[in-house]
Structure 1
């Protein structure tokens, strides 16, 4: 009986792996998709409309000291967003016009959710994309495909910012470099520890080259 169960489990694993491989090949070979769309699709973009709610905790650690920890609950259907921070919970509904006291929460949600779902922002956001080229990634120093994502100089909380994203043959981001609009700041970090939440793929850990900076997600759930 144990052998039968083991064989069934192995068969299911093989089937799942083959399906995942087939999906990756379909995304990579689809001539109707631009590169930024392939990155979004490789991360499960097509699954997003089927979920109702996503919860996550955004954490930032510097030199082994936890500097930030924000717990978010986002109702996708109603766009109601709740933030729990330091035993205090605040909520708002995301819309075009926000009261000043809600912009505090929204600014943080935009930042945290961009890190969480940046591959999807390649479809959602009004960004410009460079031609893809091969370049040496800043942290691993491996040769990867690189795409620059640039945001408009007006609008949003950080207008004019850009990102150099480094991705592999499966269109999964492995590293990026954030560049501020004034050219005064460049921050490279990894994209690692990907986890699959019902088809929604999320890089749960981001580190600087020296490892002194960590931005990571915990308590993720998708409903």
Structure 2
């Protein structure tokens, strides 16, 4: 279980700290979208461009014990990010060149926002994608479409990691398996309790197969 908690903090494969290339123009009816783009669009990728700020709380529970709680405020236009954790408040401006003392907050923001907006990372991040195939989802056992997302072996906080994502015909992710490049660790969780925030669809709950591990979001608000 210690490994699961560690993965919740650090299971991130972003190649750049500048993770939200949100201003790229997308045609209204883009033809021949690839599968990863369809997943991003189904979750409100285009609507994200109109947001100015997003607030959320990242929570991790193991065996009903709260192990982590981080409250974030993200000013999207200015890239100013603030963290409230245990009575302390820290802020920084996310950019390509980051001071050493800001790595603590940046690492955690990258991880937490990655869980929050993973469907958008399929367009923002530099990843390779497999061919889509039918496969049994690891938790429910239901047959779904499966796509493997693999990150390059260099760059980011955990290079070389990959994700098997399982999604429905509506291109909404229902389960995934995280695979660490180092040590062969794997973690499967659900993607459930979706809610629409001004067109941006967010899965608020992720559970391990036995339910002993829960990663969830609360206090989500967008402007």
Question: What is the TM-score of this pair, normalised by structure 2?
Answer: 0.86
Instruction: Write the distance in 1 (CA, Å) between the matches of 2:182 and 2:92.
Output: 31
The SS at the match of 2:117 is: helix
Matched, 1:53 2:53: yes
Residue correspondences, number: 195
Instruction: Write the distance in 2 (CA, Å) between the matches of 1:50 and 1:114.
Output: 19
Which of 132-141 and 178-187 deviates more?
178-187
Which of 108-117 and 175-184 deviates more?
175-184
Instruction: Write the distance in 2 (CA, Å) between the matches of 1:135 and 1:192.
Output: 19
Instruction: Write the distance in 1 (CA, Å) between the matches of 2:104 and 2:87.
Output: 17
Match of 1:22 in 2: none
Match of 2:152 in 1: 152
Unpaired runs of 5+ in structure 2? Answer: 1-28
Match of 2:185 in 1: 185
C-alpha RMSD of matched pairs (Å): 1.0
Instruction: Write the distance in 1 (CA, Å) between the matches of 2:134 and 2:31.
Output: 20
1:89 Cα shift?
0.4
The SS at the match of 2:123 is: helix
Computing the radius of gyration from Cα coordinates, the structure with the larger value is 1
Instruction: Write the distance in 1 (CA, Å) between the matches of 2:144 and 2:182.
Output: 27
Match of 2:97 in 1: 97
Q: Which residues of 2 match residues 45-194 of structure 1 at below 5 A?
A: 45-194=45-194
Deviations 1:14-50 (A, max 9, x none): xxxxxxxxxxxxxxx9742000000000000000110
Deviations 1:84-104 (A, max 9, x none): 000100000000111111010
Unpaired runs of 5+ in structure 1? Answer: 1-28
Instruction: Write the distance in 1 (CA, Å) between the matches of 2:196 and 2:104.
Output: 30
The SS at the match of 2:170 is: coil
Deviations 1:163-183 (A, max 9, x none): 000000000000000000125
1:184 Cα shift?
2.0
Deviations 1:164-215 (A, max 9, x none): 0000000000000000012520000000000000000000000000000000
1:110 Cα shift?
0.4
Instruction: Write the distance in 2 (CA, Å) between the matches of 1:83 and 1:168.
Output: 34
Match of 1:21 in 2: none
1:116 Cα shift?
0.1
Question: What is the TM-score of this pair, normalised by structure 1?
Answer: 0.86
The SS at the match of 1:122 is: helix
Q: Which has the higher helix share?
A: 1
The SS at the match of 2:174 is: strand
Q: Which runs of 4+ in 1 moved over 3 A?
A: none
